[in-house]
Chains A and B, each alone.
Chain A
């Protein structure tokens, strides 16, 4: 454990030094260039629908200002002039690039800090929910298989090849309605699979007109269900369960009298937060597979961050950490990008250290140290 911990500390220190140095150097390089825009003009910059190159839009905007500020015609004119100057400035590619240049100032740092805290909360919530869902679904899949319940598609296949005698129309209807029902069930399962495998942006754009896709709740749901995260790691846990079930100790436990009837396991035990199957051979299988799964959490965490980044970036969710990173990357504000990257690196390293510690604790328990 000491060796692993030292390695983590060393990598954190090394990456911190390199990235912070890079941030400081790039931050120095970028100070100076942002053109000044008067404070009273800034609220109007977000009016993207107004095209100041069109006289009609310009006249309309001028009329609107006169209605809202009827006592200040001079200020209205100066706003219009400043907006025109701003537009001229943004037409020039060099000035346009400079327009988006930003440096790390104290307010910016705090703004990023707020986004970072929000990102961490989202990450932890999704990680915990995925972890619970993976264990529950993996156990459910394994138990269901042990109970001898075939997959939907296989049931359809079995039903079709059975070919019962259908002498009356009623029997024919019964047979075909059951086939149709099973096919519909299989189709629903297929749709669910397609949903779980869809990248977040496909799902989000599919239902963007119906749901507020910028909400945090939607992001959490998407984080858990999309990008194939849940299904991939459920399969991984299920594989661990299957490997454990093949081991010799399972037979020994059975011979020694532990219960092995999977029909006895109820859904309450499967969905429980702390899953115990006392007196059943599956309890040992589950505990051992769970121990093996612990190291996989590191991989899952890294993939989760990837998924979260995809969600935030692809949905253009303003005010979120990784969307900010993408924007700053495109505006070539590399100092801010490096700082955000450092934050994400710390998060993953933190998870790795925690998982290694958990693993160490569990292995001590297993080895009776």
Chain B
């Protein structure tokens, strides 16, 4: 039997027909498949080798993180659409002072480092939780997502305004107005929906990555900070707080140990799963989102 007839090459041929002709040029879809496959493989591995309580915590943390990031997207879209429309109306009605005041406030928010703003908002949420003003997890998720969106939504506002300005300079805009279309329809349907939704979707993908990063970082900081001398109020588990957990920290420290003791590396995949899986999910998600966003931008030449 010739070597080229081996099972190995037949397998490669299958991958070639799937990947080579459809998936590889569309890198966003390819990375989406890679991300989902990677996460599923990791969950499968953890289901076998990680103890039940830790496995449950990992799934809850990942689920909560995804849920908050999804809520951030929803709030960001709503906030940015309202703000864009509001700014358009102010500019269109030549209310110069109103427009300048709103822009001034937006620029002020822009000058606040996102992490500081979100940290303050988290402390406020903790205060509310401590006083019993909020109790259910969903309320906490909504408030934290809102806090994150407040410091992210400006990127989407900038994009929407840029798109509106671009189309306003074209004949298209004046022609539609002459034809009797209302501003509401031109801006919201023809410009933002029909001609900019790909751009907005690309931005939304980046917002998702940003939301995961900021949320995990703040959760990590809060969990590490509060665990020192001040009594903590327990927020729902996320990847960030799970990473700040003492067991996870020990697991991650084991990476450093295995660098000088290579024989220990195999233990990382069995004994230190909680921390390593949490860190891997976080980093792999950030990388995949970045790649998906780039692939999407390349595919549509944005």
A residues adjacent to B (C-beta < 8 A): 7, 10-11, 14-15, 93, 96-97, 100, 154, 157, 160-161, 163, 165-167, 172, 193-194, 197-199, 201-202, 205-210, 227-228, 231-232, 235, 239, 302-303, 305-306, 309-310, 313-314, 316, 326-327, 329-331, 341, 344-345, 348-349, 352
Q: Say whether B221 contacts A197, CB under 8 Å.
A: no
**By DSSP majority rule, is chain A's interface helix, strand, loop, or mixed?**
helix
Q: In this assembly, does B4 line the interface, its C-beta being within 8 Å of a C-beta of chain A?
A: yes
* Inter-subunit contact A166/B4 (CB<8 Å): yes
Alpha-carbon distance between A306 and B253 when the two chains are bound, in angstroms: 24
Q: How far is A199 from B252 in the complex, measured between Cα atoms in Å?
A: 13
Chain A residues in 8 Å Cβ range of B116: 306, 309, 341, 344
In B115-133, the 8 Å CB interface with A consists of 115-116, 119-120, 123
Kindly state the separation between the CA atoms of A303 and B216 in the bound complex, as whole angstroms: 15
B226 at interface by CB-CB < 8 Å? yes
- Given contacts A161-B20, A166-B3, A197-B286, is CB(A207)–CB(B216) below 8 Å? no
Complex: chain A residue closest to B100, CB-CB = A7
- B213–A228 CB distance below 8 A: yes
> Which residues in B have some Cβ–Cβ distance to A below 8 Å?
2-4, 9, 12, 16, 19-20, 24, 104, 107-108, 110-116, 119-120, 123, 213-214, 216-217, 220-221, 224-226, 228-231, 243, 249, 252-253, 255-257, 259-260, 279, 282-284, 286-287, 290, 294, 297
Beta-carbon contact of A157 and B111 below 8 Å: no
Q: A206-B256, A207-B255 are in contact. Are A201 and B220 (CB under 8 A)?
A: yes
9 cross-chain pairs, A with B, having the tightest CB-CB distances, nearest first:
A209-B256, A206-B255, A306-B115, A205-B252, A305-B113, A197-B287, A313-B221, A197-B286, A330-B230
Check if B19 sits within 8 Å of A157, measured CB to CB: yes
Q: Which of B3, B111, B279, B286 contacts A172 (CB 8 A)?
A: B3
Tell me which residues across on chain A come within 8 A of B228, comparing CB atoms. Answer: 330
Contact A163 B225 (CB under 8 A): no
Which residues in A have their C-beta under 8 angstroms from that of B217? Answer: 199, 201, 310, 314
- In the bound complex, do residue B24 and residue A157 qualify as a contact, i.e. CB atoms below 8 Å apart? yes
Whole-angstrom CA separation of A172 from B117 in the bound complex = 59
Assuming the contacts A197-B290, A313-B225, A330-B226, asked whether A160 and B113 have C-beta atoms less than 8 A apart, the reply is: no
- B259 x A207 contact (CB < 8 A): yes
User: Taking the nearest CB of chain B, how far is it from the CB of A366, in angstroms?
Assistant: 20
Report the Cα distance A199→B228, complex, angstroms: 22
B111 touching A205 by the CB < 8 A rule?
Answer: no
Q: Which residues of B lie under 8 Å from residue A172 when comparing CB positions?
A: 3
Give the secondary structure class of B's interface.
helix
Set of chain B residues within 8 Å of A194, measured between Cβ atoms:
283-284, 287
Q: A7-B104, A208-B256, A209-B256 are in contact. Are A197 and B111 (CB under 8 A)?
A: no
Question: Judging by beta carbons under 8 Å apart, are A302 and B111 in contact?
Answer: yes
B114 touches A326 (CB 8 A): no
Bound: A345/B117 CA distance, A:
11
A199 to B244, CA, bound (A): 13
Q: Are A345 and B112 in contact (CB under 8 A)?
A: yes
Contact A199 B4 (CB under 8 A): no
Tell me if B110 and A207 are in contact (CB < 8 A): no
- Chain B nearest CB from A339 CB (Å) reads 13
In the complex, what distance in Å separates the CA atom of A289 from the CA atom of B218? 34
Instruction: Report whether B113 and A235 are in contact in the complex, using a CB–CB cutoff of 8 Å.
Output: no
Q: Is B256 touching A210 in the complex (CB atoms < 8 A)?
A: yes
When the two chains form their complex, are residues B108 and A11 in contact, meaning their CB atoms are under 8 A apart?
Answer: yes
Knowing A202-B282, A228-B213, A329-B119 are in contact, say whether A309-B113 is a contact too (CB < 8 A): yes
A197 touches B283 (CB 8 A): yes
Residues of B within 8 A of A100 (CB): 229-230
Residues of chain A contacted by B260 (CB below 8 angstroms) = 210
Residues of A within 8 A of B108 (CB): 11, 14-15
B287: A residues at CB distance < 8 A: 193-194, 197
Minimum CB–CB distance for B233 against chain A, Å: 12
Set of chain B residues within 8 Å of A201, measured between Cβ atoms: 217, 220, 243
Complex: chain B residue closest to A306, CB-CB: B115
**Partner of B113 from A10, A193, A302, A327 at Cβ < 8 Å:** A302
